[in-house]
Amino acid sequence: MSILKELKQYKRICIQCHDNPDPDALASAYGLYCYFSYCGIPATIIYGGNVRIRKYSIELMIEECGIPISYVTELPACDLLVTVDCQYGSGNVTQFKAEHIAVIDHHCPIRNYAAQQKVTHYFVDENYQSCATIIWEMLEEESVSTREFIGLDTALAYGLFIDTASYKDLRNNVDLQMKIALNPDVELLEHLEKCNIKIEELGFIGNALCNNWFNEKNQWMIIPMHPNCDPVLLAITADFTQQVDTVKLSVAYTENIECYYFSIRCSYSRWNAADLARQIAAGVGSGGGHRMKAAGRLYKEKFLHGGTKQEVEALLHQRIESYCEHALQESAQYHKDI
């Protein structure tokens, strides 16, 4: 039995995106919402956290694709909570108490065993490049066409676009199959693809790139972004630096009132961005992702002196260098042994 058939047994379903949802989370949630509506099951889409959606491209996607999402501080009445593009118990999603929980995600499995024990239905596969692809494939298996729902093809295509760095990283078969099969609103999709950065945010990126710190020995870079900037800019900036011939690893970060967000991009096979994210955040936050892409947050209250910029910079330098050196030593020992 497919996981969608398993979920149909519930009468009221709440679909939760991670905090400050991105296009992939929204597309995945909307795909599930359309499926449950098709089956006559009441469903709602929600997100929580301390940051409301404020990015123009996200707001435009929600409006033009007709995604009925609501910001909440308490879980609405439901029989099942489904988290999409995130995992129950991870640091990037508000944890609501629910009797039955399902997880659908494409990131590396988290190591919060206590939280995972509460999950009734679980589908996590990091081989997919977007969670939207997982939802599309599930709908295909149920013989439910995405073209029956207004805005869904465009939402799914945009989710894939963002999670594959403007399709530059697009390589997996199922993700490619979805891109080919979808029939999005081309004009709207092109507009969404081209409105990720405001003019003032372009200045933030330029200043950050001019003030980067580069480790020449192991070729990793730290990029301090403008305080309170949209976390999406971290990923965009880190992606850009991976085009530099001598940069194997990039970590962009920004400060807000409660924490520091960071985003990692890695192009070196001997390093794993998700492992590094967890190591950076150990004891002071949370992190995870994929081998080449990861992200996390560092909570100021966890630091001895309240999370000053100097404290956080020192932690980033020490933990990135420690991780890279250890990984290189392990690799050298492995090749020596064989």
**Per-residue DSSP letters for 172-209?**
-HHHHHHHHH----HHHHHHHHT-SS-HHHHHHHHHHH
Q: What is the dihedral of CA 322, 327, 332, 334, to 10 degrees?
A: 140
Using an 8 Å Cβ cutoff, are 79 and 11 in contact?
yes
Note the CATH number of domain 200-337: 3.10.310.40
Alpha helices (H) along the chain: 3-7, 23-38, 56-65, 113-116, 131-141, 152-163, 173-181, 186-193, 199-210, 231-241, 273-281, 309-337
Domain layout of the chain by residue ranges = 3-193, 200-337
Q: Who has greater pLDDT, 116 or 159? A: 159
Same fold, 3-193 and 200-337: no
Superfamily of domain 3-193: inorganic pyrophosphatase (n-terminal core) (3.90.1640.10)
The angle subtended at Cα 302 by Cα 298 and Cα 303, nearest 5°, is: 90
Residue range 318-330: mean pLDDT, rounded? 89
The pLDDT assigned to 335 comes to: 46
**What is the C-alpha to C-alpha distance for residues 282 and 187, in angstroms, rounded to an integer?**
44
In the predicted structure, residue 131 carries a pLDDT above the cut 90: yes
Residue range 271-278: mean pLDDT, rounded? 95
**What is the C-alpha to C-alpha distance for residues 105 and 72, in angstroms, rounded to an integer?**
21
Q: Give the pLDDT confidence of 218-246 residue by residue, as tens digits.
A: 999 999 999 999 888 999 999 999 999 99
Comparing C-alpha atoms, which of 91, 100, 3 is closest to residue 49? 91
Give the single-character DSSP code of 129: S
In the predicted structure, residue 94 carries a pLDDT above the cut 90: yes
Query: Radius of gyration (Cα) for the chain, nearest Å?
Result: 20
The pLDDT assigned to 334 comes to: 44
Q: Give the pLDDT confidence of 134-184 residue by residue, as tens digits.
A: 999 999 999 999 999 999 999 999 999 999 989 988 999 999 999 999 999
**Per-residue DSSP letters for 298-335?**
EEGGGSTTS--HHHHHHHHHHHHHHHHHHHHHHHHHHH
What is the CB-side half-sphere exposure of residue 189 using CA atoms within 13 A? 20
The pLDDT assigned to 331 comes to: 58
Residue range 288-304: mean pLDDT, rounded? 94
Using an 8 Å Cβ cutoff, are 128 and 108 in contact?
no
Q: Give the pLDDT confidence of 52-93 residue by residue, as tens digits.
A: 998 899 999 999 999 999 999 999 999 999 999 999 998 899
**What is the C-alpha to C-alpha distance for residues 207 and 214, in angstroms, rounded to an integer?**
15
Comparing C-alpha atoms, which of 229, 212, 284 is closest to residue 51? 229
Using an 8 Å Cβ cutoff, are 60 and 193 in contact?
no
- Percentage of the chain surpassing pLDDT 70? 96
Q: Tell me, what amino acid is at 105?
A: D
Q: Phi, psi (5° rounding) for residue 115?
A: -70, -40
